[in-house]
């Protein structure tokens, strides 16, 4: 019993000594770095007036760097909020990101269980991100096309309402009642802000900033200028409706011209995926080395990466 106690005390003393040594080593390194910084700033021998200016300049530089980082984070949050609004997500963006991260982790765990390769697990997580990106882009495109069509109809409703003697706020309220989502929600928020006492120009510009639709931004700028300078709002609505209808018609022609390229890209991307699934169903023994051998796992991960890269390249080419 006594030797065991002595061993425990000796082990505790050894661990405590190592812990104290690590603390003193970290403190010595910290003081050494602090001394080097003071020497570079010229503050080792005391702080004079010039040294104070130098130190103030260094602090201002650090504050400006921190402000730049804060602006970057704010810009990223604004971009994510814009994507969420365009996609029509009625949940916080943080919830969507946590859900995406959970799906990536789950896919990586499943891929690692079947293959035992971290590289394939990483490729599986990339596949989840790519599928989510495609789904989000498709959802945004569909809502944008519907938004443009609804905006043309809404401008016609606003023009007729203004000619009937209704105020601009009443025209917007009529649009919110007659037009469905997504445009109806935008004008509904504008009307609610008017009830709270906000300025009409500010409400319209805020609504335009919350969407990436260029026609809505054009509409907000035109209405804001018209409210400031005065004029016939009904004629403005008719003119805007004609311009936006022409822009939508041109955008549809562009989509028709690029439809063949987009279809070819989808077929070329779908072929290896369908072939891979069929081979796993028809000849599972033939595909077993892809999961069990190191070379097969590398080939599988490289295939997934090449398919994703090819999809990205063809997507860029079809946009051009």
Q: With helix as H, strand as E and coil as C, how does 175-237 read? A: HHHHCCCCHHHHHHHHHHHHHCCCCHHHHHHHHHHCCCCHHHHHHHHHHHHHHHHCCCHHHHH
For residue 182, pLDDT beyond 80: yes
Three-state DSSP class for 242?
helix
Determine the pLDDT at residue 222.
Answer: 84
Angle between helices 233-257 and 214-229 (to 10 degrees): 160
Task: Please state the pTM of the whole predicted model.
Answer: 0.61
User: Taking the alpha carbons of 37, 38, 42, 48 in that order, is the dihedral positive or negative?
Assistant: positive
DSSP string computed for 111-167: HHHHH--HHHHHHHHHHHHHHHHHHHHHHHHHHHHHHHHHHHHHHHHHHHHHHTT--
Question: What's CA 96's distance to the chain center, in Å?
Answer: 10
Residue 90 carries which DSSP code? -
CB atoms within 10 A of CB 164: 11
187: pLDDT strictly greater than 70: yes
Confidence class for position 133, pLDDT limits 50, 70, 90: confident
Q: Does residue 75 register a pLDDT over 80?
A: no
Name the token pair of 115. 């293959």
Give the rounded percent of residues in the chain with a pLDDT score beyond 90: 0
* pLDDT number for residue 209: 81
pLDDT band of 47, cuts 50, 70, 90 = very low
Q: Quick one: CA torsion of 60, 63, 69, 74, rounded to 10 degrees?
A: -120
Reply yes or no on whether the pLDDT at 196 is more than 60: yes
Residue 7 has pLDDT above 60, yes or no: no
- Per-residue pLDDT at 45: 47
Q: Which residue has the higher pLDDT, 48 or 256?
A: 256
Q: What is the mean pLDDT of the chain?
A: 76
Q: Is the pLDDT of residue 41 over 60?
A: no
Residue among 318, 320, 319 at smallest CA distance from 261: 318
Q: Residues 145-163: pLDDT tens digits?
A: 888 888 888 888 888 888 8
- Per-residue pLDDT of 201-221, as tens digits, reads 888 888 888 887 888 888 888
CA distances from 115 to 31, 260, 267 (A): 49, 37, 28
pLDDT band at 107 (very low <50, low <70, confident <90, very high): confident
């Amino acid at each position: 019993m006594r030797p065991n106690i002595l061993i425990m005390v000796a082990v505790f003393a050894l661990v405590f000594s190592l812990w104290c040594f690590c603390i003193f080593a970290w403190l010595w390194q910290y003081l050494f770095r602090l001394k080097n910084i003071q020497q570079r700033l010229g503050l080792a021998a005391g702080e004079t007036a010039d040294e104070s200016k130098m130190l103030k300049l260094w602090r201002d530089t650090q504050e400006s760097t921190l402000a730049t980082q804060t602006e970057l984070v704010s810009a990223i949050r604004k971009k994510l909020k814009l994507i969420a609004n365009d996609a029509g997500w009625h949940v916080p963006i943080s919830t969507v990101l946590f859900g995406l991260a959970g799906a990536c982790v789950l896919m990586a765990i499943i891929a690692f269980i079947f293959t035992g390769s971290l590289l394939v697990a990483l490729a599986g997580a990339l596949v989840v991100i790519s599928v989510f990106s495609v789904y989000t882009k498709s959802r945004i495109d569909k809502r944008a096309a519907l938004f443009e069509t609804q905006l043309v109809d809404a401008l016609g409703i606003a023009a007729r309402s203004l000619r009937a003697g209704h105020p601009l706020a009443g025209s917007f309220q009529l649009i919110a009642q007659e037009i469905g989502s997504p445009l109806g929600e935008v004008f509904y928020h504008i009307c609610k802000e008017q009830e709270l006492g906000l300025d009409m120009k500010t409400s319209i510009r805020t609504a335009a900033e919350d969407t990436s639709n260029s026609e809505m931004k054009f509409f907000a700028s035109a209405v804001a200028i018209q409210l400031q300078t005065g004029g016939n709002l009904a004629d403005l609505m008719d003119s805007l409706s004609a311009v936006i209808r022409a822009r939508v018609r041109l955008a549809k022609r562009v989509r028709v011209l690029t439809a063949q390229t987009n279809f070819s890209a989808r077929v070329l991307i779908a072929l290896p995926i369908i072939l891979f699934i069929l081979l796993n169903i028809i000849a599972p023994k033939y595909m077993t080395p892809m999961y069990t051998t190191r070379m097969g796992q590398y080939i599988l991960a490289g295939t997934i990466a090449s398919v994703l890269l090819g999809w990205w390249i063809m997507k860029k080419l079809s946009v051009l």
